[in-house]
């Protein structure tokens, strides 16, 4: 099948690259063409807009920015649902709102188009290594059909249920990250104040009960003063706000998540929302 890929940013370019390297015919679009140039140089076919991708590809993957962007790309006048052929499969790998995933699914079914929500976690490292964790929501038979593609991009793929379930799964992941990332930052901040070598403590904690993906992967970047985004603060703030809203809608109070959100919003107020999530370290140490 001909594949489409929309959104070739920090993670999308690597994910699309794996699909391309596997020998798939690939049609690509990104708002900033330069970010797709490497894929085009490797043989991908550039499309000038979303509509063209919809008309060319049989399976289309997207990983874009905010829920409003997702709604426009899928449901806008020139969007995927309005221009894809019957039988096309649309896979949104953006972290977005569960209700929007359901809305997109319902709109697709009306036109014999199958829509799957498949948000990912693992950051730029997971995208580059093809080891992403992928949460799936939608028709199980469709998700099963897509497994060969998911297995090119990820190493942990979990089907969670009907449309929107993938997004709920990703929210659970983002909630877990909130505790891990603030724990990592406060651990390093404490060690620094105590005069302990940060690299040594990072290595020691990583091997014990305080170990986490954040401590293993993000702490070394923070210690080195590398705050380049593997995952943008602004996107994590978006995710946390979705999680808070969803939790409240289900009658659940998540004070820990709200605390971490407030800390990140302080960085956003300082104009630092384009840093990576390890940038929380700067709030404590600048």
Cβ neighbours of residue 151 under 8 Å, at least 6 residues apart?
157
Known catalytic residue: 170? yes
Catalytic residue chosen out of the listed positions 33, 170, 248, 266: 170
Q: Are 182 and 263 in contact (CB under 8 A)?
A: yes
Query: Cα-flanking dihedrals φ and ψ of residue 196, to 5°?
Result: -90, 140
How far is the C-alpha of 7 from the C-alpha of 9, rounded, in Å?
6
HSE, side-chain direction, 13 A CA sphere, residue 60: 33
Phi, psi angle pair for 215, to nearest 5°: -70, -40
Instruction: Kindly report the number of other CB atoms within 10 A of residue 143's CB atom.
Output: 24
101 Cα distance to chain centroid: 14
Closest CA to 83 of 47, 57, 46: 57
- From residue 179, alpha-carbon distances to 85, 253, 256, 258, 264 in Å are 43, 15, 7, 11, 13
Q: How far is CA 54 from CA 50, 75, 88, in A?
A: 6, 12, 9
Is the CB of residue 283 less than 8 Å from the CB of residue 263?
yes
Burial class (CB in 10 A: 0-12, 13-18, 19+), 48: exposed
The catalytic residues are 170
């Amino acid at each position: 099948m001909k594949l489409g890929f929309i959104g070739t940013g920090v993670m999308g370019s690597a994910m699309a690259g794996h699909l391309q390297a596997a020998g798939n015919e690939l049609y690509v679009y990104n708002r900033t063409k330069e970010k797709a140039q490497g894929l085009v140089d490797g043989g991908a076919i550039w499309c000038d807009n979303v509509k063209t991708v919809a008309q060319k590809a049989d399976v289309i993957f997207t990983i874009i920015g905010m829920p409003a962007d997702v709604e426009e790309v899928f449901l806008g006048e020139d969007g995927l649902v309005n221009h894809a052929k019957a039988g096309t499969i649309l896979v949104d790998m953006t972290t977005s709102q569960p209700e929007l995933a359901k809305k997109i699914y319902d709109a697709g079914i009306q036109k014999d188009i199958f829509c799957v929500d498949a948000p990912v976690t693992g950051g730029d490292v997971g995208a580059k290594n093809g080891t992403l964790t992928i949460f799936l929501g939608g028709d199980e038979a469709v998700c099963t059909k897509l497994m060969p593609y998911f297995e090119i991009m990820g190493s942990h793929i979990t089907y969670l249920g009907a449309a929107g379930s993938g997004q709920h799964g990703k929210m659970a992941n983002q909630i877990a990250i909130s505790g891990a990332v603030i724990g990592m930052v406060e651990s390093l901040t404490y060690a620094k104040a105590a005069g302990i070598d940060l690299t040594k403590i990072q290595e020691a904690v990583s091997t014990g009960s305080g170990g986490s993906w954040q401590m293993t992967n993000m702490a070394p970047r923070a210690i080195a003063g590398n705050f380049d985004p593997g995952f943008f603060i602004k996107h994590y703030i978006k995710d946390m706000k979705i999680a808070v809203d969803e939790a409240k809608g289900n009658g659940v109070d998540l004070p820990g998540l709200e605390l971490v959100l407030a800390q990140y919003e302080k960085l956003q107020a300082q104009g630092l929302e384009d840093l990576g999530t390890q940038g929380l370290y700067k709030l404590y140490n600048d």
